[in-house]
Every structure is written in C-alpha cells, then in structure tokens.
Amino acid sequence: EHEDIRGEIGAKRVLGLPVNCVSHKERIWLATAIYHRYVGHKTNKSRPSELGAILGQRRRSEAATIGLGLRFALMFSGGTANCLGYLSLTNEAGVLKLHVTEQGRSVLDKHSCRRFAQLAQSASLIPEIEQAQN
C-alpha cells in the first residue's frame, strides 16, 4: 500500500479481524497502536473514525505511545531483529533513556533519534541517549 494510507488500512484491518476473544475496546486500542506505528503523530493522514470512540484519553495516549515505540524500533532496526539487541530502554525519574551498544552506534542516525524523541514525548518523558564508547 502507499505510505499515505498504510495507517488507515492497518487500523481498519485490526478493527475488522474476525476474532471473538478480543473486546471491542481492546480491538480499538490495538488499531490505534497500529495506526500510530504507520502514521506517527501526523495529522494530515486519513484516520478511521472508530479510533476516537470508546477509549478514554489515557488509553488512546497509551496506544499511541506503543505505536510510536513500534515505529522507532522499525526505524532503528530496519526490520532486522538482530539490531534490536543493540539497544535497551530504561525509564527512571521521568527520563526515557536509550542505551545503545557499540555495535548499534553505526545504526543510530538522525531519523532514529527523532523517532526516539517522539516516543519519549508521547509518554511525557524526557529523551536521553547513552551511547557506548569504544
């Protein structure tokens, strides 16, 4: 799919899943996370109206943060699971700290840093990046 509609399509697929063991609230929460995984915080993208229903602001924010976490992980790793082993996250005293190993330093670029900052901001945390030294 074209990148302009991936968020909407992904969310609608989740909303339409024929699964009985998921409540409607859970389905909307998951669809919201998937939407933000593809769209981020952009407001000019098409958004299914169902995502604004049922969930309170806190749950919508949680889902958006999870989606942004998925977005960051994909940007950092390039879709390669091995690269995710180059980083870890800690959350202490209002600071979301990204710990990057020496091997991961070459993968950490300005786009990954920007996505990490968006993730931290979404969780109302201060972003901090700690890179291992040689």
pLDDT tens, 43-95? Answer: 766 677 888 878 999 999 999 999 999 999 998 988 888 999 999 999 999 99
* pLDDT in the model for residue 20: 87
Answer yes or no: do 84 and 49 share one domain: no
Domain final residue pick, 18, 40, 55: 55
| Structural domain contains residue 66 | no
What are the C-alpha distances in Å from 131 to residues 68, 84, 110, 114?
Answer: 21, 14, 14, 16
| Structural domain contains residue 65 | no
* pLDDT in the model for residue 31: 93
Q: What is the CATH number of the domain that holds 118?
A: 3.30.70
The DSSP output letter for 22 is S
* pLDDT in the model for residue 129: 96
| Structural domain contains residue 27 | yes
pTM beyond 0.95: no
133: containing domain: 79-134
Please give the tally of structural domains in the chain: 2
